[in-house]
A and B are shown apart, each in its own frame.
Chain A
Amino acid sequence: MIARFLLQNMDRRGAVFLALVAAIMLLVPLSNLLLPPSSVFHVPTSAMSLWGKYLCFALLAISLDLVWGYCGILSLGHGAFFALGGYAMGMYLMRQIGSRGVYGNPILPDFMVFLNWKELPWYWYGFDSFLFAMLMVLLVPGLLAFVFGWFAFRSRVTGVYLSIITQALTYALLLAFFRNDMGFGGNNGLTDFKDILGFSVQAQTTRAALFAITCLMLMAGFLIARGIVVSKLGKVVIAIRDAESRTRFLGYRVDRFKLFVFTVSACMAGVAGALYVPQVGIINPSEFAPANSIETVIWVAIGGRGTLVGAALGAVVVNYAKTIFTSGFMAPYWLFALGGLFVFVTLFMPKGILGAVQGWSAGRGRRGREPAATAPAAAE
């Protein structure tokens, strides 16, 4: 039943996307591990980790597109769920350091020893277990989204007001995690990771495995999000986006539908954050910065809102551009470039890169495709 749910009405765009990610998942780690560094097809480990980071952002973008593109909930705080997933992973990785820290304390992470703490705070319990930590990666962002959404959606907070309180949410978490006495490493966050499941996080093979797992999770996230949006629930969610009160008069409890997609989306963002942390080697409060969440919205808008694939594409394109522009002589102008890109896309490609590409291919004499965000009707 799950397979049928995930694969129902698979269109060509989705299939191409999955095939592409699957190919990257196999080829990049293999070329990194098997080909000699002198080969032109060799992917250096640093580049692999960099692209692994982009793919984490792609998963985050898909999660945001699910709520914004399809349900019309413009969350300006999705970075919070990403960061919470990241912190859950970071706490596991901290506990794996054991007595190899600078202070050699077998239980307490270095920053707690430094703060003169005598014992582990209760909320760090259990994070030495990988399974528990993975559960928290899903549960903490999911629960926060559920509680937040419960109040917001039941009180019918919508539009710009909702965007503002999501922004406030991530900002509040930013301030909280900055505090040393919160017990999450304050300003410096969590870093100096050593092992993950007994494998060194620095090892080339571990990096390759992390990259492959990121690809796998990106595919899984895409399949889940796609399964949701092409289902009847997806149609309800689009209906809510376009005519919320009409949907209510049809007998749908709008708040529950919103809560469902918002919570699923937050869990997905948490997974993205958890995969991000071991690949970049650090998680700190700056991940909660409101600007990060807003940037995620820009990725989705640039790639093509309400298409899922476009969101992933936008995340990779913008972050690749960011890597290029922030190194070298262009560095001081990155934000201008990003702003310019956003303005350009908004003005000339209102449906994002994907929408524009589809428009061009439809314009070359081929039959017009369905516009974005409309799933083909169930053919059963």
Chain B
Amino acid sequence: MNTAISTAAPASQQLTSALLYLDGVSVSFDGFKAIRGLSLTIEPGEMRAIIGPNGAGKTTMMDIITGKTRPDTGTVLFAGSIDLTKLDEAAIANLGIGRKFQKPTVFDFHSIEDNILLALKANRSVGRTLFWKTANADARRIDEILGIIKLGDARERLAGSLSHGQKQWLEIGMLLAQDPKLLLVDEPAAGMTDGETAETAVLLKEIARDHSVIVVEHDMGFIRELGVKVTVLHEGSVLAEGPLDLVSANERVVEVYLGR
């Protein structure tokens, strides 16, 4: 998986230093332009918050990055040279882009532990998966992640029996297990209590120390707690970008959010 990048990179020229580079991306569904001319760059190690009203194209942007939706036009580059528009979901995931969904999606009929095991970075081929044996290092990593997301005591429980907030955490744990270079986190604090939201912010900041992270969120308090650069999307393109205070002082942003 890592090798895919290291072998692919020298083959073609490094076009940008950014980890993720979107330029002039557009996509429309049945004539409706969900994304129009979106440009965005994420540097290695950066954490970025993306906000925007409903229908601004936040989720569609994530779909494009993870290969679920193909853009009509535009460039999407990962690690400087890999064209993500030519790859499918599995290939992109194996390159090191992990995604947490808006609605927490875990495997309900698997134990918490198995959910992490399935996400754990490993060879994903059919043969290797069939004859998989959990090595000690893998077991330790699973324990470690279960500790981080505070589900160590519940490891045998079925994921379907978890509360909403716990599912969110389990999914973040699965992202950690994947050990991606870039994490796309869609509304991690949705449906959480204030306490849980604060803890989630701490957890994300910790993850951001050695990963690049894109967080899509509605909760301004949460964004403030993260304290990172903010990109505001509106009608499929970037409206403003910068620190939260600067962005929220922007007249156009206020107008979009509050209506005129």
Q: Which A residues contact B (CB, under 8 angstroms)?
A: 1, 5, 228, 231-233, 235-236, 238-239, 242-243, 245-254, 256-257, 260, 371, 373-374, 377-378, 380
Q: Assess A378 versus B134: contact at CB under 8 Å? Given A231-B129, A248-B93, A252-B124.
A: yes
Which A residues touch B108, using CB under 8 A? 242-243
Q: Assess A233 versus B110: contact at CB under 8 Å? Given A251-B93, A252-B90.
A: no
The distance in angstroms between the C-alpha atoms of A378 and B118, with both chains bound, is: 12
Q: Which residue of B lies closest to A375 (CB)?
A: B114
Segment of B70-78, B99-107, B193-201, B216-224 in the binding face: B99-107
Which B residues touch A245, using CB under 8 A? 68, 89
Q: Assess A235 versus B126: contact at CB under 8 Å? Given A246-B105, A250-B93, A380-B133.
A: no
Which A residues touch B88, using CB under 8 A? 248
The distance in angstroms between the C-alpha atoms of A1 and B132, with both chains bound, is: 12
B174 within 8 A of A: yes
Q: Which residue of A lies closest to B115 (CB)?
A: A239
B248 within 8 A of A: no
**Which among B66, B111, B174 has the greatest number of chain A C-beta atoms within 10 A?**
B111
Q: Are B90 and A248 in touch, CB under 8 angstroms?
A: yes
- Closest-CB distance, B48 to chain A (whole angstroms): 20
Q: Are B107 and A251 in touch, CB under 8 angstroms?
A: no
A-B contact list, 6 entries, CB within 8 Å: A231-B129, A242-B108, A248-B88, A250-B118, A251-B93, A252-B124
The distance in angstroms between the C-alpha atoms of A377 and B126, with both chains bound, is: 20
Q: Assess A233 versus B105: contact at CB under 8 Å? Given A249-B93, A374-B111.
A: no
- Closest-CB distance, A263 to chain B (whole angstroms): 11
Residue in contact with B90 in the complex, picked from A238, A254, A371, A380, CB distance below 8 Å: A254
The distance in angstroms between the C-alpha atoms of A253 and B174, with both chains bound, is: 17
Q: Are B101 and A246 in touch, CB under 8 angstroms?
A: yes
Residue in contact with A235 in the complex, picked from B66, B89, B118, CB distance below 8 Å: B118
Q: Are A374 and B158 in touch, CB under 8 angstroms?
A: yes
Q: Assess A377 versus B132: contact at CB under 8 Å? Given A235-B117, A239-B110.
A: no
- Closest-CB distance, B152 to chain A (whole angstroms): 14
Q: Which 10 A-B pairs have the closest CB atoms?
A: A251-B93, A232-B132, A233-B130, A251-B94, A248-B89, A233-B129, A246-B105, A253-B90, A239-B107, A251-B124
Q: Are B90 and A5 in touch, CB under 8 angstroms?
A: no
The distance in angstroms between the C-alpha atoms of A373 and B107, with both chains bound, is: 13
- Closest-CB distance, B100 to chain A (whole angstroms): 9
B178 within 8 A of A: yes
B119 within 8 A of A: yes
Q: Which B residues contact A (CB, under 8 angstroms)?
A: 1, 66, 68, 88-90, 93-94, 98-99, 101, 105-111, 113-114, 117-119, 124-126, 129-134, 139, 156, 158, 174, 178
Q: Are B126 and A233 in touch, CB under 8 angstroms?
A: yes
- Closest-CB distance, A29 to chain B (whole angstroms): 34
**Which among B66, B94, B114, B158 has the greatest number of chain A C-beta atoms within 10 A?**
B114
Which B residues touch A256, using CB under 8 A? 125-126
Q: Are A235 and B110 in touch, CB under 8 angstroms?
A: yes
Q: Are B109 and A377 in touch, CB under 8 angstroms?
A: no
Q: Which residue of A lies closest to B177 (CB)?
A: A250
Which B residues touch A228, using CB under 8 A? 130
Q: Which residue of A lies closest to B122 (CB)?
A: A232
Which A residues touch B66, using CB under 8 A? 249
- Closest-CB distance, A260 to chain B (whole angstroms): 5
Q: Assess A236 versus B109: contact at CB under 8 Å? Given A245-B89, A251-B90.
A: no
Q: Which residue of A lies closest to B1 (CB)?
A: A251
Q: Are A231 and B126 in touch, CB under 8 angstroms?
A: no
Q: Which residue of A lies closest to B160 (CB)?
A: A242
Which B residues touch A235, using CB under 8 A? 110, 114, 117-118
The distance in angstroms between the C-alpha atoms of A345 and B172, with both chains bound, is: 39
Q: Are A236 and B118 in touch, CB under 8 angstroms?
A: yes
The distance in angstroms between the C-alpha atoms of A254 and B107, with both chains bound, is: 15
- Closest-CB distance, A261 to chain B (whole angstroms): 9
Q: Assess A233 versus B156: contact at CB under 8 Å? Given A251-B93, A252-B90.
A: no
Q: Which residue of A lies closest to B180 (CB)?
A: A251
Q: Are B109 and A238 in touch, CB under 8 angstroms?
A: yes
The distance in angstroms between the C-alpha atoms of A48 and B174, with both chains bound, is: 52
The distance in angstroms between the C-alpha atoms of A13 and B88, with both chains bound, is: 40
Which A residues touch B125, using CB under 8 A? 256
Q: Are A243 and B105 in touch, CB under 8 angstroms?
A: yes
Further pairs besides A232-B129, A250-B93: 7, Cβ < 8 Å: A235-B117, A236-B129, A238-B109, A242-B107, A257-B126, A377-B111, A378-B134
Q: Assess A374 versus B129: contact at CB under 8 Å? Given A239-B118, A248-B93, A249-B66.
A: no
The distance in angstroms between the C-alpha atoms of A283 and B88, with both chains bound, is: 44
The distance in angstroms between the C-alpha atoms of A259 and B127, with both chains bound, is: 12
The distance in angstroms between the C-alpha atoms of A236 and B90, with both chains bound, is: 13
The distance in angstroms between the C-alpha atoms of A380 and B135, with both chains bound, is: 8
The distance in angstroms between the C-alpha atoms of A257 and B178, with both chains bound, is: 19
Which B residues touch A236, using CB under 8 A? 118, 129
**Which among B68, B110, B125 has the greatest number of chain A C-beta atoms within 10 A?**
B110
Q: Are B93 and A246 in touch, CB under 8 angstroms?
A: no
Which A residues touch B133, using CB under 8 A? 380
Q: Are A246 and B89 in touch, CB under 8 angstroms?
A: no
Q: Assess A238 versus B107: contact at CB under 8 Å? Given A246-B101, A254-B90, A256-B126.
A: yes
Which A residues touch B117, using CB under 8 A? 232, 235, 378
Q: Are A249 and B109 in touch, CB under 8 angstroms?
A: no
